[in-house]
Structure 1
Amino acid sequence: MDWLQLFFLHPVSLYQGAAFPFALLFNYLCIMDSFSIHARYLFLLAGGAALALAAMGPFAMLVFIPALCATVLICSLGPQDVHRWAFLFQMGWQTLCHLGLHYTEYYLQERPSVRFCITLSSLMLLTQRVTSLSLDICEGKVEGASRGLRDRSSLSEHLCKALPYFSYLLFFPALLGGPLCSFQKFQACVQRSRNLCPRRSVWVLPWRGLQMLGLECLKVILRITLTAGAGLTHCQQLQCIFVMWSTAGLFKLTYYSCWILDDALLHAAGFGPGFGQSPGEEGSISDADIWTLETTHRISLFTRKWNQSTARWLRRLVFQQGGAWPLLQTFAFSAWWHGLHPGQVFGFLCWALMVEADYLIHTFASLFIRSWPMRLFYRALTWAHAQLIIAYIMLAVEARSLSSLWLLCNSYNSVFPVVYCILLFLLGKRKHTFN
């Protein structure tokens, strides 16, 4: 239970909650047109710097340095080169920081600083924004500033051109969490006037608060149930299945609560759905589509809906770039982005196999299961099986040591992914008949 207790501390939520008054103040001043555009960018940037220093302490420099370097690259490189260099620099920097965490955990056998863990989480989100912005510039969706540092403009003009990019990379509502906000949406929200404030947005924050309250009550019930029983270390036979399911349920409820809080903070600052939507831009999404995640019987649909903005980002960054085995490449990159811990490597590889098996199994079933009673039975059976496989993957990814991973793999829970692997092998031979 040691790693569970560490997971539930969640100091990030405290800092996110402390940022709410400043988010509401920013939104109010924008609605009242009390800010110039440059003042708005500076407010968001200063808030991000203050929040980083409060949450990360001296480790905040590990976020400031790559944000500054990414801004310089964006302002100095052409559209054809900016994405490649921004991606290599940002992932290289993040990987070095993750290696520092590996050194602390696996070599020194010490628990890492909470502030350092918050810094790594913020770096991962920074990587999303850097690569999303560089892809937008590369694809022509955002006009780059590659000539901004080459012409004979004054220093103040150079800084004004770089300010929106730097502010976007460090703006405080998305510094520690939240769904990925595109640069186009960010810019449109910052430049909005008082006429762009939907009345329906008033009820969003109370609704988010009620959702979080309900999730916290469910977490208390599950935590009491799990504490009263045996853990994976002491469970016996089929009891391990219930332990795995309830433990994964605690993880999911914690993620849902954090995502709702992050979404509420963005909305409080004026970056929620309905604000600054460009005509050709995909709609804003929330990472916590709880109903779909808990009712779907398809692992592939769960994968697309779990942390939706990150799933879209991975699809755009890796999956849609072509090449062989795009699904495997996407999950391999996700393991790299998360830090390449042993449990993450095993978990994401298993996840890729389960998604591939899911496509084949449901394609096969749609061809041979016709009657509605059989379809209903099939859906119930695959829902239970999918939820248990997802719980297995979640515990593998969250495992912080090889011993925890071995306990999971050596339990009865491994039967569920093994069944899908066998079906993947058997149905893969008949794949041409499905096509």
Structure 2
Amino acid sequence: MAAAFDVYYDGSRIFSWVSDLSGLPLDQVNFVISQILALACAPLFRNTLHPSTTSPATRHTFGLVLGLVFGYFCFGMQAIHLGGLPALCYIVMRTQDPHSMQRMVLGVALVYLSCIHLHRQMYDYGSYTLDITGPLMVITQKVTSLAFSLHDGLTRREDELSADQKYHVVRKMPTVLEYFSYIFHFQALMCGPVLFYRDYIDFINGHTFLKHAPPSSGHLDNNSNSRKVVLEPSPYLVVFKKVVCSTMCAIFFLNLIPSFPIQRVKEPEFLEEFSFPSKMIYLVIATTVCRFKYYHAWLLADAICNASGLGFNGYDAKGRARWDLISNVDVLKFEVSFVLRDSIEQWNKGTTRWLRMLVYERAPRFRTVLTYALSALWHGFYPGYYLTFMSGALFTFASRAVRRSIRPYFVRSRPLKAMYDLATMITTRLVMGYITFSFLLLEFWPSIHVYLHLYMFLHVLGVLALLLLPVLLPPPRRACQPEKSGAVCSNGVVSAQH
């Protein structure tokens, strides 16, 4: 494995001594160092390079150059692919008919990304090395969302657009500097969160804070005679909290993962000697521990964006500034949600918006299937991914059936409602461990063996819920309502709002 890593990983070796001292792989060391440097540079955007004193071109250039430096530091010559994919897509945007350009960009981006996925699967199978596939996945989201926004702005009338499409619409082709700055800006290059072009341009031009009316408690200075000065809220308390939470997640992961490795589920001892409840408890704990790795990376990336002034999303009802415009995850809501739908919607939220924007709101039919297909292809080709996607679809539909048929009997009193919520929260935790271990394990037959040793019991219950509940406990009748827009989850699950 070490030899394969040396051949496949092309990042800088300057900090090999840190890797040797800490025992962490060099790719992880380089990632953390690049993110710490990005966090240190981020306040320059908010202070030294503030839009009131700095031209957009300078801010574009600063973010672009730092992104290129960090990309080369972490990936070496492989970083050429980070430029290759968006360069090809930009040529398509500039040269093709806007009526079909967006589909061509989507095709080019997915083919390019798929080739990189397959290359890694061939030469570094089953590895969790931090290579260019992660940034390329985010770049794919950026170029395709921009292409669809351009298509809307150049070919469709205002009254033909949905509310989200009106928000994201782009009516002018970006210049080369604007485009590649958007692709490579250092705050979110390494692991997201995905940022849509309209939000990025508002940030560069300094329009973000002007779009949201400040609360009456006084964030506005009207002392000047002819203009209003918006006093921007400080992000540093939010940044501090996210950095602390990110650090704690990293510590939890490093200390707990040796005791709960996901690979243990393939061992005969686990399959033959662990009791049924022990197997389920282990799956829940092991998958939860693995999530701390994602929480660490995503919360740190959120902090970098916020420290630069990126991610402001207005004020809440109490007048407090919100910094969740491009947040990747809400850890607490994900871990303690009462229902599967709510839990999934808090995971990789930018990808949720991307899938909704490209597929769910546009497909005339087979929305759910097409959304799953795009999400699966975007993730790659490991069979474990597809087991998770298919199981996720089943349990999303099953949870809807349970909610429609059983929940009405428990909302008539607060004690019954509390019992129902507790039961669904526990069930959601079990389902999460049950369906996501294969995503981490990556392999098909080992995942199937685990399911068989668990008697496929949750799959069976899910199918029974779909087939029998509507017959045995028909949902109460209610007035017909227009179909509400669904929420598209980061793994492709489309969940209607009930």
Q: Sort the TM-score into its range (normalised by shorter chain).
A: 0.7 to 0.9
Alignment counterpart, residue 136 of structure 1, candidates 133, 149, 154: 149
Work out the CA distance in 2 between the residues paired with 1:11 and 1:420: 43
Alignment deviations for residues 81-122 of structure 1 (CA, whole Å, 9 cap, x no partner)? 2211111111111111112123225xxxx56693xx521111
CA offsets, 1:320-375, max 9 Å, x none?
Answer: 22344322322232111100210001110110111111111111123333343333
Moved more, 200-209 or 261-270: 200-209
Task: Write the distance in 1 (CA, Å) between the matches of 2:473 and 2:374.
Answer: 26
The aligned counterpart of 1:122 is 135
Task: Identify the residue that residue 339 of structure 1 maps to in structure 2.
Answer: 380
- Name the residue aligned to 1:395: 437
The residue number in structure 1 matching 2:224 is: none
TM-aligned CA deviation for residue 57 of structure 1: 0.9
Alignment of structure 1 residues 291-310 onto 2, 5 Å: 291-310=332-351
Q: What value does the CA root-mean-square deviation take over the aligned residues?
A: 3.1
Residue 355 to residue 255, structure 1, CA distance change in 2 (3 Å): same
For residue 186 of structure 1, what is the aligned residue in structure 2?
200
Per-residue CA distance 1:124-143 (angstroms, 9 max, x = gap): 10011011111111122111
Return the TM-score normalized by structure 2. Answer: 0.74
For residue 139 of structure 1, give the secondary structure of its aligned residue in structure 2. helix
27, 40, 50: which one pairs with 1:21? 40
Looking at structure 2, the residues matched to 330 and 343 of structure 1 have their Cα atoms a distance apart, in angstroms, of 18
Match of 1:166 in 2: 180
Within the candidate set 231, 252, 256, 2:291 is matched to: 252
**Number of the residue aligned with 2:50:** 31
Alignment check: 8 A CA contact 2:288 2:433 kept: yes
Residue 396 of structure 2 corresponds to 355
User: Structure 2 CA distance, aligned partners of 1:127 and 1:331?
Assistant: 17
The TM-score with structure 1 as length reference comes to 0.84
- 1:299-339 CA-to-partner distances (Å, cap 9, x unmatched) read 11112221111111112212222344322322232111100
**C-alpha distance in 2, partners of 1:338/1:127?**
11
CA distance in 2 between counterparts of 1:161 and 1:432 reads 57
**Could you tell me which residue of structure 1 aligns to residue 302 of structure 2?**
263
In percent, how many aligned pairs have the same letter?
21
Name the structure where helix makes up a greater proportion of residues. 1
Distance in 2 (alpha carbons) for counterparts of 1:231 and 1:283: 36
* Residue identity in the other structure for 2:404: T
Structure-to-structure mapping, 1:27-106, within 5 angstroms: 27-31=46-50, 33=52, 35-105=54-124
C-alpha separation between the residues in 2 aligned to 1:41 and 1:285?
A: 19
Alignment of 1:355-374 (within 5 A): 355-369=396-410, 370-374=412-416
Q: Which runs of 5+ in 2 are unaligned?
A: 3-23, 154-168, 210-228, 315-322, 478-498
Distance 1:430 1:139 in 2: 46
User: Judging changes above 3 Å, is the alpha-carbon distance between structure 1 residues 111 and 423 closer, same or farther for their aligned structure 2 residues?
Assistant: closer
- Contact 1:230–1:243 (Cα < 8 Å) also in 2: no
| Cα distance in structure 2, aligned partners of 1:351 and 1:204 | 33
Tell me how many residue pairs correspond in the alignment. 405
Which of 215, 230, 233 in structure 2 is aligned with 1:199? 233
Query: Aligned AA for 2:304?
Result: L
**Equivalent position amino acid for 2:235 in 1:** S
CA distance in 2: counterparts of 1:307 and 1:10, whole angstroms: 23
Of residues 360-369 and 242-251 in structure 1, the stretch that sits farther from structure 2 once superposed is: 360-369
> How far has the Cα of 1:186 moved from its partner?
0.8
User: What code does the residue aligned with 1:17 have?
Assistant: I
Does the Cα contact within 8 Å between 1:319 and 1:326 map onto a contact in 2? Answer: yes
Give the direction of change, closer, same or farther, for the CA distance of 1:223–1:375 in structure 2 (3 Å limit): same
Q: Distance in 2 between matches of 1:334 and 1:310?
A: 9
Asked whether the equivalents of residues 280 and 434 of structure 2 are also in contact (C-alpha less than 8 Å), the reply is: no
Preserved contact between residue 289 and residue 305 of structure 1 (Cα < 8 Å): yes
Name the SS of the counterpart of 1:212 in structure 2: helix
- Does the aligned pair in 2 maintain the 1:56–1:119 contact within 8 Å? yes
1:39-65 deviations in Å (ceiling 9; x for gaps): 221221111211111111111111111
- The alpha-carbon distance between structure 1 residues 219 and 413, as it changes in their structure 2 partners (threshold 3 A), is farther
Q: Structure 1 residues 62 and 434 mapped into 2: Cα distance closer, same or farther (>3 Å)?
A: farther
Partners of 1:112 and 1:143 lie apart in 2 by 42
Correspondence for 2:363 among 301, 322, 344:
322
Q: 1:161 offset after TM fit, Å?
A: 2.6
Q: Partners in 1 of 2:89 and 2:231 — Cα distance?
A: 32
In structure 1, stretches of 5+ residues that fail to align are 146-159, 276-281
**In the superposition, relative to structure 1, how do residues 428 and 52 fare at CA in structure 2: closer, same or farther (>3 Å)?**
farther
CA contact (8 A) 1:74 1:144 kept: no
